[in-house]
Copies of this chain bind each other. A is one copy, B any other.
């Protein structure tokens, strides 16, 4: 019985495009993820038009990036995260403040009033951990101290971005900023991360000394249930789903099944992460950016986004030495789909014109394409040298 034929075709096209893109990228000595995003741009509405982002494809993409961060969490131990806590905190905070200040200055300079400028600036803030996590995993450097700092900072970054978005949305709507309720919201989010990150991992370590009877389900099924459950819960605390998935991975990494789970997660990533990266690429609307004035503006805001995040991350991570701080700064640069979400909110709220919307989306996605090769080059230039930070 033929049904769902169009969706099956889209699945096939996306999956194959991702493989071809990753292959070409590797031939060009670039990270595979760049090829997958570029392939999305090619098969997406801007060029070939073979794939249009639809709700089912978005859900597959979301599951893909959730599983990716779960697998990154699996390779992350809470003890090692605690050791880089101070640097991660500084990187998270400075990596939000510097882009927010520079972004709002640029927006005000371009003629937005202050309330709107702060909203525009919010789109400069939030790091998207998916792209960087994938590059770190591809390079096999998740155990490096810089990687820990980036991942920890991404969690802090997400909490602060939520706070900022709450403030600018209230300001923009002409409402008073309810300091009390904002403090409560942030306290809840911090509480969620701390409870899962500290106590969840401790419970996992203690309880799995006695193995569960096999009939209570396989360890993979339990881990996936934990991953989906915490991903959902974390959206309830105003955080990205990937934060909950990352924490779930960290909890699972404290169990004796860790290696088994790492192994079993690989086929899931192989099937599902291409949807995330190809759809990221498919959202780049080239037609909106066709005239040279817009391209110039795009260049300017992309430069501001890159430099401000780099500066914030670099300053926060100076304790890792200049090269380590550089890696961290670069690793924090991608805005990815988080920038797209904020731009959509701005468009819906009438703060952004369609052109501003297209610019911010394009900037977010450009940062995602530019980061992987830089990060890869920085790590490879180090290869062979002993890692002074370990």
Contacts and interface: CB of A to CB of B under 8 A. Distances in A.
A265 B2 CA distance: 25
Interface stretch (A94-102, A135-143, A212-220): A212-220
Contacts of A216: 23
Contacts of A161: 1
Contact of A224 (B60, B126, B271, B338): B271
A133 interface: no
A278 to B, nearest CB: 13
Given A264-B267, A265-B267, A341 B1 contact: yes
A101 to B, nearest CB: 21
Contacts of A4: 58-59, 62, 235, 241
Interface string A1-42: 111110111011001100100110011000000000000000
B23 A217 contact: yes
Nearest to A158: B1
A126 to B, nearest CB: 7
Contacts of A60: 56, 59-60
B270 A220 contact: yes
B342 A1 contact: yes
Nearest to A231: B8
B338 A241 contact: no
A348 interface: no
B215 A126 contact: no
A232 interface: yes
